[in-house]
Amino acid sequence: MSAENMQQLESCIGYAFKDASLLDTALTHTSFVNEQRGGRVESNERLEFLGDSVLSLTVCKYLYHAYPGLPEGRLTVLRKNLVCQRVLADYATEIGLGRYLRLGRGEEKDGREKPKLLEDAFEALLGAMYLDSGALFRVEEFLIPFLRRELSKMQAELIPLEDYKTLLQQYVQQTPGEELRYEKISEEGPDNAKIFSVRVLVNSNEFGRGRGSSKKEAEQNAAREALKRYLPK
């Protein structure tokens, strides 16, 4: 990385590296390493491994202190939402990380915008920052403003009266393999004034219940209740 580019990136992240090689490594994708013949260039995979743990500890520590008394289950959901690939790629995009990546020729076309590459580079950057500073609080100073803004966005999404089923689906999809479904509990009253009761399940766990004059309305109300599990009060 040129001295100019390094200064630009350090200005964006608010941290100056003592060991510039750590920053270079954090920005080096395996595709670049594979094209180097005879060179001793290291990819960012090991720093990504470290950064993933640094990220998790920083997020957990922040949530623990920011939301005293919030149950473990809801803290876990918040953590998942704050460190999913989409969100980390957004963090990386905000600081323009993609333009500094060292990529192989095969990734140059669109690799600088790929969410997976951006996520990995962002985690590697956290790992590099932690090693260079030797202090978790330096990472916290950089990362916590991102967390606060993302939490504010998550809370704001529940204010408008909107399609709660769609919003819930978006949160559930952030965790691969989780299945969302609605199940009718009961149907009461005459045909012209029925009341439907529905529950919403994520995998086999009930996340909320809702009632309404139609099945669709009951599902929306159940989704609205379920969303409360994903956000702090």
Q: Which positions are catalytic?
A: 52, 123
What's the N-to-C CA distance of the chain in angstroms?
Answer: 45
**Beta-ladder partners of 188:** 195
User: 157, 230 in Cβ contact below 8 A?
Assistant: no
Number of helical (H) and strand (E) elements in the chain, helices listed first: 10, 3
Which two structure tokens, joined as six digits, stand for 47? Answer: 């720093």
3-state secondary structure of 175: coil
User: 59, 82 in Cβ contact below 8 A?
Assistant: yes
How many C-beta atoms lie closer than 10 Å to residue 93's C-beta? 15
